[in-house]
């Protein structure tokens, strides 16, 4: 059975701690670049702080983790890539990025309405000794290519291999949990298979408090957000919130 992996991020629970960002970087061998700026850093998971624009006691703020939304229909980055370096995996719904094919034109970065793609400006380097802590299941990307969140695809491979070793075709959902989900101390990030009507995530996306960003584009993102605050839900169709700040780990 084909899957449609997605997420629900509860913004009322998110504290902006950045644990998801750190876990993502460690899991996917993102090198530290001290000289990087907000425009040149690699942050496949990026936490943004947004306010309602109020002052004093009327001011409200929310932290919004932004990542690849894994658009299902008319996926913008797929349509513009001249190298076929981006594709939607029909078996999982994951939007995959293949650095071996990428020529670094950055068309996909321009096309992405969520600004969730990043360009490698430097050769990957780690402080002495830190290279011993790299994840052996994730290849290091070279300078000059674009990358993004792939829902910790290496973990899916591991779960698939584990299932195959026991003669099973379907993976155990407990064996495939992205690093950001695992690291979140408030359980604000939930992950599951949207194609499975019995999956708790499939039920949660039907909540009236759940929404997606920029649905008017018709791309059917598989990352959902949740909040009981009306002003937060109103951000869904806005290109940017008032007073946006970026948090880097």
Tell me the residue ranges of DSSP E strands in the chain.
5-10, 46-51, 61-66, 86-88, 95-97, 118-119, 146-147, 189-193, 210-211, 223-226, 242-247
Give 81's contacts (C-beta < 8 A, 6+ positions apart).
Answer: 107, 108
- pLDDT by residue for the chain (249 residues), tens digit each? 589 999 999 999 999 999 999 999 999 999 998 889 988 999 999 999 999 999 999 999 999 999 999 999 999 999 999 999 999 999 999 999 999 999 999 999 999 999 999 999 999 999 999 889 999 999 999 999 999 999 999 999 999 999 999 999 999 999 999 999 999 999 999 999 999 999 999 999 999 999 999 999 999 999 999 999 999 999 987 754 433 444 444
Residue extents of the structural domains in the chain: 5-247
Tens digit of pLDDT for each residue in 147-192? 999 999 999 999 999 999 999 999 999 999 999 999 999 999 999 9
Residue 224 backbone dihedrals phi, psi, to 5 degrees: -110, 160
User: Is 179:189 a contact under the CB 8 Å cutoff?
Assistant: no
User: What confidence score (pLDDT) does residue 34 get?
Assistant: 87
Distance, CA of 83 to chain centre: 22
Q: Which residue from 50, 55, 74, 108 is spatially nearest to 238, judged by alpha carbons?
A: 50
Q: How many Å apart are CA 95 and CA 78, to the nearest integer? A: 9
CATH of domain 5-247: 3.30.70.20
Specify the pTM: 0.91
């Amino acid at each position: 059975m084909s899957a449609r992996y997605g997420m629900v991020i509860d913004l009322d629970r998110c504290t902006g701690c950045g644990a998801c960002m750190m876990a993502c970087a460690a899991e996917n061998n993102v090198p530290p670049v001290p000289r990087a700026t907000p425009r040149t850093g690699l942050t496949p998971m990026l936490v943004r702080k947004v306010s309602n624009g109020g002052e004093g006691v009327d001011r409200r703020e929310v932290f919004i983790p932004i990542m690849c939304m894994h658009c299902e229909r008319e996926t913008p980055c797929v349509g513009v890539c001249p190298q076929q370096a981006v594709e939607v995996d029909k078996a999982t719904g994951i939007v995959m990025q293949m650095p071996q094919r990428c020529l670094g034109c950055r068309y996909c970065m321009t096309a992405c309405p969520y600004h969730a793609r990043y360009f490698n400006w430097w050769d990957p380097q780690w402080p002495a000794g830190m290279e011993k802590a790299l994840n052996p299941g994730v290849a290091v990307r070279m300078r000059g290519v674009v990358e993004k969140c792939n829902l910790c695809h290496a973990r899916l491979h591991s779960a698939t291999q584990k299932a195959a070793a026991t003669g099973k075709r379907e993976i155990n959902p407990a064996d495939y949990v992205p690093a950001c989900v695992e690291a979140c101390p408030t359980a604000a990030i939930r992950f599951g298979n949207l194609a499975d009507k019995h999956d708790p995530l499939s039920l949660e996306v039907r909540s009236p408090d759940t929404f997606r960003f920029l649905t008017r584009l018709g791309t059917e993102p598989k990352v959902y957000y949740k909040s009981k605050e009306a002003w937060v839900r109103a951000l869904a169709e806005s290109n940017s919130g008032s007073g946006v700040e970026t948090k880097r780990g």
